[in-house]
Structure 1
């Protein structure tokens, strides 16, 4: 009788835990979808209230007279550079670290928390970048080539010109030409690279001695790819060096805040709170095997 009662209570507890977990996941995914959608709308200037500030210029400003060029590194390439290596390394690392200790559903839960946290932090980073772009309204180096302002209708002297009309036919490009500072490409790629570098240090370098020669190579290649993206934006006349530096700084800061505000991802005791692995003796043996 007592056994049946215990089984019923345990079953009810499992059902309650499952329902609460499902509700939590649905809420988290819903919030992320809303935030990511808003980021995309801001990035493509679909929200009229957040259109970039209309900043003026000096007719003799040589920094705005660069020719317009096609992008060397497109947005899709930035996403691949930022997150494909990161997610792949996280996936492989967590399998090697926990494959012998965690059940499948526990591993999925762990991977969901790491990737979910990373993507949520990235969405907040892009939100900050896009709002800053709109508030500042910094003109890109190719602004004159895209806008083609009607100089004959303005007093084109050494005065600051705000009363002008763009004769360019590409309205979307004209709006985007007012969003130079900070660089969204630099913020995106440096966020992903910083997350990867810190993740590898905390989850691989400090755990497995045999990987300590391997980690710096991957981290250096990741940083080099981020530098390449920034340099390509300057070569394409889309940004100035200060825009790249500001974007990279924002991405790095958001990645650090995301990681260290979510200690559950990198603290061993918290990692297995909801998913019991094995007894302490087996865990000790597993650690010794990988540290020798």
Structure 2
């Protein structure tokens, strides 16, 4: 169930601690394109893509691993600051950015730890060879005239790239990143602990043989796969080339990968709770190992697999 990439392998930075035996994943945002709000979208949540992974039982000063900083990062940052302030420590995190489309960085200007003295937030993106170019793009985005102040200059942010295809360490987890199929580029991730793994596949449009092979390599045998299923098969032809896949493709992909559980994410902002309920019913009727990703839900990952908390 766990490919060689999850064992101590080539390209792995020197470790100073064992991999976590278990971790908790929090879904801070599972929507895509733009945040969705209102009475018609209150149960599933409408924040855009942001996930947080923490080792189970980690001390408050242990770093979180963030995957993307969509609008859900605002609530994630507030929770992180509250946890750290209660313990008298400064926030620490590593944020892996799959790409810089707005729905994946909406929350960065409002990420509270950027405003806290002593915080240490490392932003990493594999679409750049030069970390200075990555930093320049992020600073340009979160500054006038697009934002009134420049929180990335307050001292808590660091910028780096990561090696595509190699295995590297981030916030105590073992990570592999490979390119997916999306306009402008996007990175998919496999994140592993001791005897478990999760794959985040999105944004991704099926149909490119190399990118599909990359996605499959990342997801092979994973305990949990988070897959971009923005559309259903009937909607997809009108959106071909837009960089997203379907929930039906996601379920077939997870089955091919031998994954334990699959969560469909990147919900369109125009979908209502009732429409997402109907989609979730179809997903669950297809297989009992799949569901839609829901904002606010936490998942435990360990040697026993993935389980919703």
What TM-score range do you get, normalising by the shorter chain? under 0.3
- Per chain length, whose mean CA-contact separation is higher, i.e. which structure has more relative contact order (CA < 8 Å, sep 6+)? 1
TM-score by length of 2: 0.20
TM-score by length of 1: 0.21
Larger radius of gyration: 1
- Larger helix percent: 1
Counting strand residues as a fraction of each chain, which structure ranks higher? 2
